Structure 1
């Protein structure tokens, strides 16, 4: 059966804990203590957490909290399984769910590409990928997008300064943010390059939803945040915002109308029929959790794989910042072979950058 049969929640038992010393503060560990006491009352010996970086952070909170208890206190061992379509984990190459989401959304993107070709239009497609660009890059590569941009691509050309007021102190501060005008210019340049050089009047652009968190404050003020402090990105609708801006600038530069449509690809990819690789990976990680607890007698570890699905176990201490207690996010390294792959396949509109893939002829078919 698809989905998460045991259910899921966005509650944050570790809310308010920002450093290790906070674990000794009874006022800040009330929720953690309630979770621990409930597990003990239910006579549960071990907890296998399954989820993304916030779930890992909470699992580590519970593990670290128990280190502050008396030596004779009952222990609930904690083992974590990395499950996220974002694939932004350290300690494992690919998380289960990633290839399923990429496969599903890439097929959707190919459908949109076919529609854009038939109607001489463009789609600005926003995909999940709050902190790192693995998912939008995977979707763009497999779905033949003409451009993909994620938070890793925010360089001086796509950044500007925004003046924001601190809600507590009232002080103004300048923070780097997405230059909406520069992004709009880049996409219009792409559209015009396709039209004038390649005689193609259609295409698709993939944007990571995480770019919305870097928008100037005027675009996101008033948007709700969840228990973990995350912006409700679906309500920002970056795809529609950029599509409307591109439509306006294209008309201004050419005197012509162009249909630009914003599309959000999100929840429909999270519970798709699992990809065969994810079935094998998820099965091995699940068995690995059992073996970590029953054979290896581990506590405070994440189950991982290497090579041909060989099991390995990574201590929480290698995945979580010991000072801030926040999980370490794995970003796409700009200039890496994976990053270059997208640059090879997209439509080039400017001179080759220093890390670029080198000269090539644009496709003419």
Structure 2
């Protein structure tokens, strides 16, 4: 029989996403309604592992007053980071060599020492993998899926995705008029890493003429042929949306910085590469727009805000029901619970028979395949 809960903690890890503050608000409020107190860990687990970095404390108490009126705000009250995996924590040796060590026991010791009974871990694949490992070590954990990339398995969508797609779509709407005025090719690079959901959804919603996603290696000659076809029909401009992780058929992904301890490889530059090559192939002027971190910022859409509030509330309900090692997942009509072990380390890519992708083909969109 599990012990009763009196105190929980929440942490937000990975890249920021619109809706994080809504999750925090719902978690704190739902916990308070059950008589539980709630602690917030700053910057993933760094608030525990590197408390000296926080003059006011690496862990803060979260009250109703502190989370009132934050659901519409972008970012996260607690801060977040892509660094600080407690199982692979970076350490610089005296000779300057960078290595990694396992500091996960320090997390469990802190929870026991401070009387914290459970953790709500909000994050993407990396954060939920950590959450699953902590669950295996005996910590009571519930995960909340967060990523603008929408690449987490077992949930219809993640909060932050709709906001990112909505902003990218608005940008495409604006670019149509300027591209048509100058008879240019406009290449728009969007985030998504190894999953093309943002590029696909925004590209189709925003009327792009070609969409290049990581799941399908692209042949730029086919994209150039699409542009020439449009020119022949008197439509003298084209919009191309390319995901940052898109892969040329006979080339490599564009990488700004290679992977190293504590850092995943940093993608970027494919938009400029595609624009340059299309200009050479078509003789047309081509410009690049990199939306980048603009997709992460700003207020969440109503869909993401509601999803985040539902997730935070469901996470507390799961703990109240005695569950651990699960992730809350958006289904229809309800939020479901799925085992973390079925999510950790698994990426949800765009399938080749995806209805949205087939819609694009029916509309004449070129995918470069």
Residue 240 of structure 2: aligned partner? 205
Report the Cα offset of residue 261 of structure 1.
Answer: 0.9
Residue by residue over 1:90-139, the C-alpha shift from the partner in whole angstroms, topping out at 9 and shown as x without a partner, is 11101111111101111011111221011111111111111211111111
| Structure 1 match to 2:319 | 293
Is the CA contact (8 Å cut-off) linking 1:60 and 1:300 kept in structure 2? yes
Specify which of 336, 339, 344 is matched with residue 354 of structure 2: 336
Offset of residue 39 of structure 1? 2.8
Q: Residue 245 in 1 paired to residue 277 in 2?
A: yes
> 1:185-264 alignment to 2 at 5 Å?
185-196=221-232, 198-211=233-246, 216=251, 220=255, 223-225=257-259, 227=261, 230-234=264-268, 237-251=269-283, 258-264=284-290
- For residues 282 and 56 of structure 1, what CA distance do their matches in structure 2 show? 16
1:98-113, aligned counterparts within 5 Å? 98-113=161-176
Change (3 A) 1:65 1:331: same
- Between the aligned partners of 2:152 and 2:102, the Cα distance in structure 1 is 28
Alpha-carbon distance change, 348 to 333 in structure 1, aligned in 2, over 3 angstroms: closer
Q: Which residue of the partner structure matches residue 31 of structure 1?
A: 103
Distance 1:219 1:271 in 2: 24
Instruction: Give the structure 1 partner of residue 136 of structure 2.
Output: 64
Number of matched pairs: 287
State which of 98, 114, 121 in structure 1 corresponds to 2:177: 114
1:15 matched residue in structure 2: 88
The answer to whether 1:88 aligns with 2:160 is no
CA contact (8 A) 1:144 1:345 kept: no
Superposition pairs of residues 126-205 of structure 1, within 5 angstroms: 126-154=189-217, 158=218, 182-183=219-220, 185-196=221-232, 198-205=233-240
Alignment of 1:249-328 (within 5 A): 249-251=281-283, 258-294=284-320, 296-308=321-333, 310-320=334-344, 327-328=345-346
SS in 2 for 1:90: coil
Partners in 2 of 1:31 and 1:274 — Cα distance?
34
SS at match of 1:211: coil
Q: After TM superposition, give the deviation of residue 37 of structure 1 in Å.
A: 2.3
Q: 1:290 to 1:78 in 2, by over 3 A?
A: same
Checking the alignment, whether the CA contact within 8 Å between 1:140 and 1:206 is kept in structure 2 is yes
Distance 2:205 2:117 in 1: 43
Give me the whole-angstrom Cα distance separating, in 2, the residues matched to 1:242 and 1:348. 14
Shift of 1:262: 1.5
RMSD: 2.5
Check the 8 A contact 1:127/1:265 in 2, yes or no.
Answer: yes
Task: Mark the CA change 1:51 to 1:347 in structure 2 (over 3 Å): closer, same or farther.
Answer: same
Cα drift, residue 13 of structure 1: 2.2
Q: Deviations over 1:280-313 (max 9, x none)?
A: 111111100111112x1111100123212x1311
Gaps of 5+ in 1: 17-26, 67-75, 159-181, 252-257, 321-326, 354-365
What is the CA–CA distance in structure 2 between the aligned matches of 1:7 and 1:349, rounded to whole Å?
37
Q: Would the aligned equivalents of 2:223 and 2:366 in 1 still touch at CA under 8 Å?
A: no
TM-score between both structures, scaled by the size of structure 2: 0.72
* Distance in 1 separating the partners of 2:129 and 2:262: 11
- Aligned equivalents of 1:290, 1:272: Cα separation in 2: 26
Distance in 1 (CA, whole Å) between partners of 2:347 and 2:142 is: 19
